[in-house]
Amino acid sequence: LSNGPGDPEPCDYAINAIKVFLDKNIPIFGICLGHQLLSLASGAKTMKMAHGHHGANHP
């Protein structure tokens, strides 16, 4: 699952598809947004950071 800007919460279509893959024991690798979607499909919660974080620079 690739990265991308945006909030993973409203991506129900992707979360539901990931749940199908998980139920079939298909290996999945997520980066950035993909990792957040994988987490949501697994039952975790996500939240927005108070300050943006990009690369190695910390606010």
pLDDT of residue 35: 94
- 59 within some domain: no
Residue 56 lies in a domain: no
Report pLDDT for 57.
60
Match 């993909």 to its residue by tokens.
34
In a domain? residue 43: yes
- pTM higher than 0.85 for the full model? no
Please check whether residue 54 lies inside any domain of the structure: no
Inter-residue contact 54 to 27 (CB < 8 Å)? no
With b for 16 or more beta-carbon neighbours within 10 A and e for fewer, the 20-49 pattern comes to: eeeeeeeeeebeebbbbbbbbbeeeeeeee
CB 31 within 8 A of CB 1: yes
Q: Number of structural domains, the chain?
A: 1
Report if residue 41 sits inside a domain. yes
Q: Which domain holds residue 10?
A: 1-49
List Cα–Cα distances, 14 to 8, 30, 57, in angstroms: 9, 12, 30
Residues of the chain with pLDDT under 50: none
